[in-house]
A and B are shown apart, each in its own frame.
Chain A
Amino acid sequence: MSVNSQSLSPFSLAALILRRDLHLAARRWDQVLQPLVFFVVVITLFPLAISPELSELRRIAPGILWVAAMLASLLAADALFRPDVEDGVMEQWVLSGQPLAWLLLAKTAGHWLLTGLPLVLVTPLVATGLGVSSEHWLLMFSTLAVGTALLSVLGAIGAALTVGLRRGNMLMALMVLPLEMPVLIFGARAMDMGLHGEAVTGPLSLLAAMLLLSLVLGPFAMAAAIRISIE
């Protein structure tokens, strides 16, 4: 009865989890698309509600894009750990003898690939409707890519904390929204500055620094929260 689990490298574990989540997403694509549809619909409603005047829309475009991205990520976060906790798979992860923080980080990375990255990729399309010209695409990609990744990690911490509660999603929004405020402020500010031709390295570096910090500390918070949630 030798136990040869030492042969599993952290990367093969992460690949296994990513592969599983992509398999699952392919079979539940309607749920995966939900945040993306929400994002697109909210943004396309603004010109209808405010004014079709492009100069006016351009002025508030960063705010609209970031608020929509934040709410879409919050919407997606509730389904991050809940299915695995409810069907008992998370118990097996906790008892797998592998570092839970690493497994959850891989899961969060997969979550961002499925719900965050599509938002980033679709942004040029919806931003054109808000009067943002194509020269600013790189700016939008970079700020939103860093921003949505950060929102995914923060959302994952909130999801892990509230997954044991029956109606945890309201509580999660209450907990996570204050944490996400700096992301919203710096993200929208970076995009706004970029649209006015100013250098964006300042707020963008701050966002990147916050992302690195959350990537290092976030998984440990998630792991501790999951252990408490499944008791």
Chain B
Amino acid sequence: MLTDPVNPSMQSRLEVRGLHLWRGEHHLLRGISFTLSGGELLQVKGQNGVGKTSLLRCVAGLLPAESGECLWNGVEARLAAAQFNQSLLYLGHSNALKQDLTALENLVFTLGLKRTVSDSDCQQALSRVGIPQCAELPVRVLSAGQRRRVALAQLAMSEAPLWVLDEPITNLDVQGITMLEGLLAEHLARGGAVVSAAHQPLLAGHPGNRELVLN
């Protein structure tokens, strides 16, 4: 039953072909290709400055590549941007949080752009990432690790089949990394796909674990 709605893994397929990117005089990405299906986690590795973030931004559609294509379920992502963006959750280097809003308000306003959310849903997501006590505090007063957790709370509520995460474990403590791995494993089990830039391996030993080394 390929069209079974409870098993959407068949329709989550990211295909990147021959991606080339120049930054100024520097030929950063030289023909990157990979295919990622539902249930798989691609970890992009490489030294600092090798182009991990640029690759993720190209995949997310924030950065247009000079050549190559990025297909989502067989459709060029740039041509069906609105549709692709609804299937995508991108978390960059910055946590995309407003310092003057509380953790809860930040979640409501970020997720509210994608779908209708209630305060209690967001409160639950904050509990899921282990910081329910920070809901009413302005992000300005939170520690770097707590801010990261507020940003990661989006993952706990996400219905998007494709997650693109740039260094998601930055500033997280050991429990935080375990919590993130739990979220990732759930997402993969639901048939979602993840592209993540990471220096440390995540979900070691998971059957869907794949690796892409840039150099």
A residues in contact (CB < 8 Å) with B: 1-5, 7-8, 12-13, 16, 19-20, 23-24, 27-28, 83, 87-89, 91-99, 103, 230-231
Contacts and interface: CB of A to CB of B under 8 A. Distances in A.
B115 A8 contact: yes
Interface stretch (B91-99, B119-127, B168-176, B195-203): B91-99
Contacts of A91: 62, 90, 92, 94, 96
Contact of A87 (B85, B99, B115): B99
Interface string B172-189: 000000000000000000
Given A92-B96, A230-B62, 12 more contacts: A4-B115, A4-B116, A5-B115, A7-B115, A20-B101, A20-B109, A23-B105, A89-B98, A93-B113, A95-B90, A97-B83, A97-B84
A1 B188 CA distance: 12
A172 to B, nearest CB: 23
Contacts of A96: 85, 113-114
A24 B98 contact: yes
A97 B86 contact: yes
Nearest to A89: B96
A93 B63 CA distance: 15
SS class of chain B's interface: helix, strand, loop or mixed? Answer: loop
B101 A23 contact: yes
B110 interface: yes
- For chain B, give the interface size range: 35 or more
A8 B116 contact: yes
A88 B94 contact: yes
5 contacts: A1-B190, A3-B87, A5-B86, A12-B116, A98-B113
Nearest to B151: A88
A5 to B, nearest CB: 5
B161 interface: yes
Given A1-B8, A16-B113, A95 B161 contact: no
B105 A94 contact: no
Nearest to A3: B86
B94 A231 contact: no
Interface in B2-22: 8
A24 B62 CA distance: 26
A5 B92 contact: no
Contacts of A4: 115-116, 159
B101 A1 contact: no
A138 to B, nearest CB: 37
A1 B85 contact: no
B100 interface: yes
B60 interface: yes
B42 to A, nearest CB: 18
Nearest to B158: A1
Contacts of A83: 98
* Residue in A8, A19, A97 with the greatest tally of chain B CB atoms within 10 Å: A97
Given A20-B101, A96-B113, A230-B62, A88 B96 contact: yes
Contacts of A89: 96-98, 110
Nearest to B191: A1
A93 B114 CA distance: 9
Report, nearest first, the 6 A-B pairs whose CB atoms are least far apart.
Answer: A88-B94, A97-B85, A88-B96, A97-B86, A96-B113, A27-B100
B112 A16 contact: yes
B28 interface: no
Contact of B113 (A13, A28, A231): A13
